[in-house]
Amino acid sequence: MRAVIQRVLEASVVIEGVKKAEIGAGLLILLGIEHEDSEEDINWLSKKIANMRIFSDKDGVMNESILDHRARAIVVSQFTLHASTKKGNRPSYIKAAKPSVARPLYEKFVQTLERELGTRVGTGEFGADMKVQLINDGPVTIFIDSRDKE
């Protein structure tokens, strides 16, 4: 399971001209799921994101989490995070899980993150053509892969 975590001043997801989710300061999380991902990956990644100290404290040092700031999050499914560019110029998405596998894991991740944060998490719509807008704060952008656990 891969995630691109972006600390934002604001973010929104629009689908067919309708705003599906919107937050002020918080996290925009792009989530890529592969075939081998499991509930273990979900639990590890959601706990890691909830406790990651990437928000500034009163001294301007990144020393606080989304929990400390009581900020909100949006999670957007993004199979392209598993793109392989090894051969040629057209990315391969063979490692990305098929929708029948990815959708339930995505939904479970959202539920688990909501439990970790103690608040509702905004979402995109699985498989939809989405327009994602954000103002990256910092910018702070972090890539996490549950296979590497770095």
User: What are the residue numbers of the active site?
Assistant: 78-80
**E-only strand ranges, the chain:** 2-15, 18-23, 26-32, 55-56, 62-64, 72-77, 122-123, 130-145
Rounded CA-CA distance 147/74 in Å is 23
Dist. CA 113–CA 12, nearest whole Å? 18
How many angstroms separate the CA atoms of 28 and 116, rounded?
A: 16
